[in-house]
Amino acid sequence: MPRDELQSGDPGRRSDYAAAFTAGLLDPDRAPPDAVSGPNGKAAVKRYAVYRNNVTVSLIDALAASFPATLRITGPDFFRAMARFHVRETPPTSPLLFEYGRDFADFIGRYEYARSMPWLADVARIERAWLDAYHAADAEPLASGALASIPAERLADTVLVPHPATRAIRSRYPAVTIFAANRSDGPVGRIEANGPEDALVTRPGLEVFVRHLPPGGAVFLDRLMAGEPLGAAAAAAFAERAEFDLSANIAGMLQAGAFIAAHQEE
Amino acid sequence: MNGLAPPSRVSKTSRFPAYPVADLAGISFKHEHLHAILGDDAKGGFFEVHAENYMGAGGPPHDALTKIRRDYPVSLHGVCMSIGGPRPLDKAHLGRFKALVDRYEPALVSEHLAWSTHDTTYYNDLLPLPYTPATVSRVADHIDEVQEVIGRPILLENPSTYVLFPESTMGETDFIRALVRRTDCGLLLDVNNVFVSATNHGYSALSYLADFPLDHVGEIHLAGHAEQEDDEGDLLLIDSHDGPVADAVWKLFDIVIGRCGPLPTLIEWDSDIPDWPVLKAEAAAAQAILDRHADSLFGKAHATG
Ligand SMILES: [Fe+2]
């Protein structure tokens, strides 16, 4: 085919087919676009529905794969109905499916049928953080004893650099216990915990770990991750929780591989 | 020739062995099979990965792909470049794709004649396009851009489709032929897609293959499909990748390899994924067909040489 002919398309019409085709992809009540048909004048209702179904089902499947504990808690029918609402309201904007679902926990928090499970959104937040940690950049964590070489009088000015996988999630509910019980394949016994639980998510090697942060730990970690030195972060944690245990928190976070470097504040 | 050999500059800085892939059957790599694959003493064939699953910064996906790539040739299969879409390509996505090509030195690189993003929404499906001179031009520009950025030709895959666009003025094989002529890209011939589209649009898969530019095919896909009905109650096939390859598709594959000689051939199985031995057996069935035609070619070469 001659090149001239190939380039004769009217640029103004270029985007018509995609705009027309996508208009009803997430809306089951819309008729198929006029731009498509079956062969030999056949109808395209069921044919177009194949694409609509592929889009919706594959995105629900993507959420199910990213939020397995949430799925296990609610059961598949409840989860898929909830996910379908979310997919239609907030479809992905990135072609990377492991980026999808950043708004899912907030959606769960206002989903009226999930009101009897007020902790469900926090479990989903932990799962989203788990997936971020899974795909985060690899880095060698700071050794557990790394702070021992820093003179005591300089510790307060020490800044810890977080590992790319490190996340802190706060919950007013026992979200870590519920997450852990539903993330494995084993039977879920009666969950006795009822107090608030904050989560520390890390990935020092290839495996993602979710730990229960002690009181004040989440504030402390948030401040450290924001670049504040140890002294200021500890003060903020004490201010929120008088029982904050500084040395236990530092030891636990180092042991979890939450940081990759320590340096003195400039 | 379809120009599929990777550029020679790659070998100078290679991190991985340059395994040949030419006459091998391969399997779509799924993370749950990693241990079975690494523990399998019979190393053979190749693995194809969906590029997007390896576009995170680090973690187990890259660890797994590095281990696989050490022992096997790898085919990098892009799923959502939207080459067939009307909008400009996503430069960030293209950059991520190039980074994977550079990092893993794949034996094969492919993408789809389809699109999946429009405006800001990613639809996660391979959506169809009208076949006109204007869309040839647009799609060819996209292929040129991808090949320019990654520094090597891609294989473009023929789609499964369920609808057609009355505005189309070209058949799919003419459209694909025009793209090859303009861009020098190679082709990934998905034989299941041919069978699915032929059934859905009421044409003969054999005549499609007779019109297809087989000289430019650098890889074959085989997969399972599912059956539904269209509005008129006729059979509508769905490209579901959730089961074994259908007998009719094996038969078409045999015919294609008889015409082209052995080609890298992938078993695509992406949902309801079976245990590793089931996939291995499916690949062995493809390998047996490739080997049978390789033997007959070898025999012919002797007879004439
Ligand atoms: Fe395919």
| Tens digits of residue pLDDT in B235-268 | 999 999 999 999 999 999 999 999 999 999 999 9
Burial of B71 (0-12, 13-18, 19+ CB in 10 A): middle
Cα B242 from Cα B245, distance rounded (Å)? 9
Instruction: Determine the residue of chain A that is closest to B175 in CA distance.
Output: A1
Q: Out of B61, B123, B162, whose CB is closest to A25?
A: B123
* CATH superfamily of domain region B25-304: Divalent-metal-dependent TIM barrel enzymes (3.20.20.150)
| Domain ranges for chain B | 25-304
What tokens appear for B141 in the block?
Answer: 């520009």
Q: Out of B59, B118, B140, whose CB is closest to A138?
A: B59
* Chain B residues touching residue A21 (CB < 8 angstroms): 118, 127-128
CB atoms inside a 10 Å sphere around CB B221: 28
Burial A94-107 (b: 16+ CB within 10 A, else e): bbbbbbbbeebbeb
CA distances for B36 relative to A208, A238, B92, B272, angstroms: 22, 50, 34, 17
Q: Are strands A158-162 and B155-157 parallel, antiparallel or unpaired?
A: unpaired
CA distances for B135 relative to B49, B161, B170, B171, angstroms: 28, 17, 10, 12
Cα B121 from Cα B123, distance rounded (Å)? 6
The rounded radius of gyration (Å) of the Cα atoms in chain B is: 19
Asked whether B80 and B116 are in contact (CB, 8 A), the reply is: yes
Cα angle B170, B173, B179 (rounded to 5 degrees) comes to 85
**pLDDT of amino acid A203:** 98
Query: What DSSP line would sit under chain B, residue for residue?
Result: ----SPPTHHHHT-SS-----TT-EEEE--GGGHHHHHT-S---SEEEEEGGGG-SSSSHHHHHHHHHHHHS-EEEE-S---TTSSSPP-HHHHHHHHHHHHHH--SEEEEESSEEEETTEEEEEEE----SHHHHHHHHHHHHHHHHHHTS--EEEPPP-S-B-TT--S-HHHHHHHHHHHH--EEEEEHHHHHHHHHHHT--HHHHHHHS-GGGEEEEEEE--EEEE-TTS-EEEE----SPPPHHHHHHHHHHHHHH----EEEE--SS---HHHHHHHHHHHHHHHHHHHHHHHHHHHHH-
- Chain B interface, best mutation among A5, A6, A45, by max B CB count within 10 A: A6
* Chain B residues touching residue A43 (CB < 8 angstroms): 230-232
- CB A47 to CB B236 under 8 A? yes
* Coarse DSSP helix, strand, coil percentages of chain A, rounded to the nearest 5 percent: 50, 10, 40
Percentage with pLDDT > 90 across chain A: 83
Asked whether A74 and A178 are in contact (CB, 8 A), the reply is: no
Cα A259 from Cα B147, distance rounded (Å)? 40
Alpha carbons within 13 angstroms on the beta-carbon side of residue A78 total 16
**pLDDT of amino acid B7:** 47
Cα B28 from Cα A162, distance rounded (Å)? 36
Cα A182 from Cα B9, distance rounded (Å)? 50
Smallest CA–CA distance, residue B20 to chain A, in Å, is 30
Q: Which residue has the higher pLDDT, A152 or A176?
A: A176
- CB A51 to CB B86 under 8 A? no
Burial of B74 (0-12, 13-18, 19+ CB in 10 A): buried
The residues pairing with B115 across neighbouring beta strands, listed in sequence order, are B127
Cα B76 from Cα B154, distance rounded (Å)? 10
Q: Which residue has the higher pLDDT, B191 or A188?
A: B191
Q: Are strands B121-127 and B115-118 parallel, antiparallel or unpaired?
A: antiparallel
Cα B266 from Cα A139, distance rounded (Å)? 35
Sequence letter at residue A34: D
Cα B241 from Cα B199, distance rounded (Å)? 17
**pLDDT of amino acid A7:** 40
Q: Are strands B46-50 and B25-28 parallel, antiparallel or unpaired?
A: parallel
Query: What DSSP line would sit under A194-217, residue for residue?
Result: -S--EEEEE-SSSS-EEEEEPTTH
Q: Are strands B226-229 and B235-238 parallel, antiparallel or unpaired?
A: antiparallel
Cα A32 from Cα A43, distance rounded (Å)? 9
Each residue of B141-153: pLDDT tens digit? 999 999 999 999 9
Question: Mind listing the pLDDT tens digit of every residue in chain B (305 residues)?
Answer: 344 444 444 445 789 999 999 999 999 999 999 999 999 888 889 999 999 999 999 999 999 999 999 999 999 999 999 999 999 999 999 999 999 999 999 999 999 999 999 999 999 999 999 999 999 999 999 999 999 999 999 999 999 999 999 999 999 999 999 999 999 999 999 999 999 999 999 999 999 999 999 999 999 999 999 999 999 999 999 999 999 999 999 999 999 999 999 999 999 999 999 999 999 999 999 999 999 998 887 665 554 43
CB atoms inside a 10 Å sphere around CB A5: 13
Q: Out of B56, B116, B128, whose CB is closest to A95?
A: B116
ipTM above 0.90, yes or no: yes
Q: Enter the pTM of the model.
A: 0.92
Separation of B224 CA from ligand 1 center, angstroms? 10
Q: Are strands B226-229 and B217-223 parallel, antiparallel or unpaired?
A: unpaired
Each residue of B46-58: pLDDT tens digit? 999 999 999 999 9
Chain A contact for B102, CB < 8 A?
A: no
